[in-house]
Structure 1
Amino acid sequence: MDEEVVGRVVPLRGLARRDRADQVVADMLEGWRRQQLARNLSFTTIDSRAQLVNRFLRHCNEMPWRWTVAHVDEFFGDLRAEHHLGRSTIRAYQNALRLFCDYLTDPRYDWDRVCERAFGTHPSQVVHEWNSVGHHQDNEQDPRKRAFTREELQAFFDRADDEVARIRRLGRKGWLPAFRDAVLFKVAYGWGLRRNEVRHLQTVDFSRNPHAREFGRFGQLQVRYGKAHAGSAPKRRGVLTVRSWSAETVEQWIRHGLPLLGGGLDLFPTERGTLVSEAALGARFRRYRDELELAAGLDMHSFRRSYVTHLLEDGVDPMFVQHQVGHEHASTTALYSCVSSDYRTRTLRHALDTCLNEALATAPRGRAGQD
């Protein structure tokens, strides 16, 4: 066979057929990785997609130029039937496999010519609209996911504070991480933050709001690690402080907790000086939730849902809430709202009373002396 050096394909002369196939697959994955790097996608996204492709390779035991739609159906059928993966996870996996096939079948990368010469066939797209999960509505989140009620939220924060006191009474070292996480949970709710946003906060991200001096130096918060669009840098936004207790909570942590962890710029470091991990936060959250026997649909993101819901229930303008949480569209903010039936009842009563009062005010008055 003639030697091939196309793009990032290494010379194949002298390699056994199986070794040639393994080498070509390795070059395909490396080429795809570089393509995604050129698009400025995150390393975690690139790595997770590569892991999915390798998992598919092991499952079907066929090289990419011999993949068929039957392999796809069998693979994802297994993930649903045996592993019970959710709709959004399946869709993400299918999208990764589709993108890899798009790369292989793009004539600009010459993989069709390489495979034809080396193996007598070529890659094809095997993930289509008719054998993959469709995206037919805006809100496809798990119906169990919801906001905290105010009573549940208070119980959760009380449990987090009790854990700090309990560990300190026992004279153990773990009280400081428990204190840190208790404050972090309150900050996530107090400013409506995502888990990754609150993890990356620094003390310098807080500043004064000249129109709300009662919050002191914690009048507004600059979020620097907001959720990014694909291939874009993290999205920044400013969040105004709306609750006095949230500013007091942060000030207490900066004065009495953070100095014991080194007192650096990071607001929530570990004892080793690194950022607290998402896994550690998730584990502590689930422990408190389960001990309180709260619903399994409550997760770290429920703090953000609760922030939106409670502000709307308190009568805050929806446009203000939308800007606070950094949503481009009001419809996105609406997905986070889990307003209570009591709030809807009060809203209806207010609307009915308003209509009735307006009708009475405009009704013609009878003649003097008549009812």
Structure 2
Amino acid sequence: MEKQPHSRSMQSEQGVPGAATLYVVPGVTMLRPTEAVFEKMIEGFVEHQQARALKPNTIAGRVRTVRQLHAFADAFPWEWNASIFDRWSATVAAAVAHSTLGQKQLQLRAFLSYVTNTAYEWPTVCRELFGTFPTMALGELNTVRHSQGYVGQPSRNRPLTRPEVRAFFGQMDPEIGRLRAAGHKGALTAARDLALFTTMYAWGLRRRETAWLEIHDWRRQAKLSEFGDFAGLAVRWGKALPGQPPRRRMVISVWPWAVTTVRYYVENIRPLFYVDRQDDGVMFPTERDGEISIRSVNDRFAHWRALASLPDHLCPHCLRHTYVTRLIEAGYDASFVTEQVGHSHAATTAIYTALSSDYKNTKVREFLDAAEEEALRTAFARAEIEADIDDEFDATDTQPATTAKERRTTR
């Protein structure tokens, strides 16, 4: 018979969500205790994450990584050590991006933080059942070092150049016209895509923020009456902090051409999606029903990217980077740009900015011209001073001349 936990210490923290004794009951015999305890650990970890109000997808991702390590090592958490983590990290690093490896390691550290915390009693249960207990064997010495704000792929999330922006959006109207002339049903979807990616670009939105927009999210602004109902955009599904609800922000419209495009879509294109069904208020609906999915946003961007012959590594998020760069180049204050895109720190906004060569050359030219103008101004001022001095000398020279003998006599 397997040895069962029975100490009073194991029952001291039963009020803690996810505590071991809520899952491993003292005095109850378990069949295959190693597998049973591991599954109970997972169950307790899930409840622990739910107590932090983490999203189901986040929790599922962490559990999936824990199970992947268990399968890789063929060992249970109370048997994991630094050597196992090193071998696993080396294997994963060969197949995924640097940032993905770091994310997986953080997921495992969250699990280890739970099972090694004495408040949850798993160390006590494991020691009494198996003679060993989980340890925090994943630390700074064997994890990816996160020493800078951006760890993504430099070529992937970058602003589009001005020719790339023209190529991407410039081919949409002709393609919409071609599809409409051919009676193709894709013309309606293409017209929606034009408004969708215009909104993403001209208001600096993320994919989810764009896909989940609704008509009532557009706002009037008293000082921007020329934009009418589209002077501001209330973003309700901003990127959330861990365990927090989505962050909200108000994005002010800055480009009249974009407002014109969106207004035309809302008034003339979008109603065509609701000819045979009730309007549900979704900003970018599909022909089948409901809002466009985030995956579909990726697919549609890839479609238009291919038609424009743009590099395959570009993604929808590049439009957000482009928005930030264009605002900075236009002279908008950095704090305004940070508020527009919903960043907590200006340093994050700086990561998004990649000023174009034309902009840099223009700024250098402005500086050189200003320096030259200042130099000329100084030279003219100096010339005027010298002219005044010459005038004084000229005035002195009009006095009666004296000979050297007279000057010596005077002295």
Q: TM-score range by the shorter chain?
A: over 0.9
Q: Do 1:322 and 1:330's aligned partners in 2 also have CA atoms closer than 8 Å? A: yes
- 2:374 is the counterpart of 1:358: yes
- Counterpart secondary structure, 1:134: coil
- Counterpart secondary structure, 2:237: strand
User: Which of 10, 15, 20 is the aligned partner of 2:30?
Assistant: 15
- Give the aligned partner of residue 208 of structure 2: 196
What letter is aligned with 1:118?
L
- Counterpart secondary structure, 1:367: helix
Q: Do 2:212 and 2:237's aligned partners in 1 also have CA atoms closer than 8 Å? A: yes
Q: Do 2:4 and 2:29's aligned partners in 1 also have CA atoms closer than 8 Å? A: no
* Most deviating of 144-153 and 358-367: 358-367
Q: Which structure 1 residue ranges, 5 or more long, are not aligned?
A: none
- Give the aligned partner of residue 96 of structure 1: 107
- Give the aligned partner of residue 76 of structure 1: 89
- 2:16 is the counterpart of 1:2: no
Q: CA deviation at 1:177?
A: 2.6
Q: Distance in 1 between matches of 2:285 and 2:61?
A: 26
Q: CA deviation at 1:184?
A: 0.8
Q: CA deviation at 1:14?
A: 3.6
- Give the aligned partner of residue 401 of structure 2: none
- Give the aligned partner of residue 292 of structure 2: 276
User: Which of 16, 22, 29 is the aligned partner of 2:42?
Assistant: 29
Note the 1:70-219 alignment, pairs <5 A: 70-81=83-94, 83=95, 85-144=96-155, 145-219=157-231
What letter is aligned with 1:9?
Y
CA 1:70–1:167 in 2, change beyond 3 Å: closer, same or farther? farther
Q: CA deviation at 1:42?
A: 1.8
Task: Give per-residue Cα distances to partners, 1:266-300, cap 9 Å, x unaligned.
Answer: 10122343321111111221232234332234211
Q: CA RMSD in A?
A: 2.1
- Counterpart secondary structure, 2:159: coil
Task: Give per-residue Cα distances to partners, 1:203-224, cap 9 Å, x unaligned.
Answer: 1111112212111110111111
Q: Which structure 2 residue ranges, 5 or more long, are not aligned?
A: 12-19, 391-411
User: Which of 321, 346, 362 is the aligned partner of 2:362?
Assistant: 346
Q: Do 2:180 and 2:187's aligned partners in 1 also have CA atoms closer than 8 Å? A: yes
- Counterpart secondary structure, 2:86: helix
- Give the aligned partner of residue 341 of structure 2: 325
Q: Distance in 1 between matches of 2:158 and 2:371?
A: 33
* Most deviating of 101-110 and 320-329: 320-329
- Counterpart secondary structure, 2:53: coil
Q: Distance in 2 between matches of 1:119 and 1:294?
A: 58
Task: Give per-residue Cα distances to partners, 1:214-260, cap 9 Å, x unaligned.
Answer: 11110111111111112111111111111112111211221222223
What letter is aligned with 2:49?
Q
Q: CA deviation at 1:3?
A: 6.0
Q: CA deviation at 1:7?
A: 3.5
CA 1:54–1:162 in 2, change beyond 3 Å: closer, same or farther? farther
- Counterpart secondary structure, 1:221: strand
- Counterpart secondary structure, 2:331: coil
Q: Distance in 2 between matches of 1:160 and 1:48?
A: 37
Q: Distance in 2 between matches of 1:158 and 1:192?
A: 19
Q: Do 2:302 and 2:315's aligned partners in 1 also have CA atoms closer than 8 Å? A: yes
User: Which of 264, 282, 293 is the aligned partner of 2:309?
Assistant: 293
Q: Distance in 1 between matches of 2:174 and 2:50?
A: 46
Q: Do 2:5 and 2:128's aligned partners in 1 also have CA atoms closer than 8 Å? A: no
- 2:244 is the counterpart of 1:232: yes
- Counterpart secondary structure, 1:237: strand
Q: Distance in 2 between matches of 1:7 and 1:356?
A: 79
Q: CA deviation at 1:46?
A: 1.1
Q: Distance in 2 between matches of 1:328 and 1:342?
A: 29
Give aligned-pair identity as a percent: 37
Q: CA deviation at 1:307?
A: 0.6
Task: Give per-residue Cα distances to partners, 1:34-90, cap 9 Å, x unaligned.
Answer: 111111222221111111111111111111111122221121211222x2x111110
Task: Give per-residue Cα distances to partners, 1:294-317, cap 9 Å, x unaligned.
Answer: 223421111111111112222223
TM-score by length of 2: 0.84
- Give the aligned partner of residue 270 of structure 2: 258
CA 1:314–1:277 in 2, change beyond 3 Å: closer, same or farther? same
Q: Distance in 1 between matches of 2:23 and 2:61?
A: 23
Q: CA deviation at 1:181?
A: 2.2
Q: CA deviation at 1:368?
A: 5.3
- 2:40 is the counterpart of 1:40: no
- Counterpart secondary structure, 2:22: coil
Q: Which has the larger radius of gyration?
A: 2
Q: Do 1:147 and 1:298's aligned partners in 2 also have CA atoms closer than 8 Å? A: no
User: Which of 218, 222, 235 is the aligned partner of 2:234?
Assistant: 222
Q: CA deviation at 1:24?
A: 1.3
- 2:352 is the counterpart of 1:336: yes
Q: Distance in 2 between matches of 1:163 and 1:28?
A: 55
Q: Do 2:231 and 2:252's aligned partners in 1 also have CA atoms closer than 8 Å? A: yes
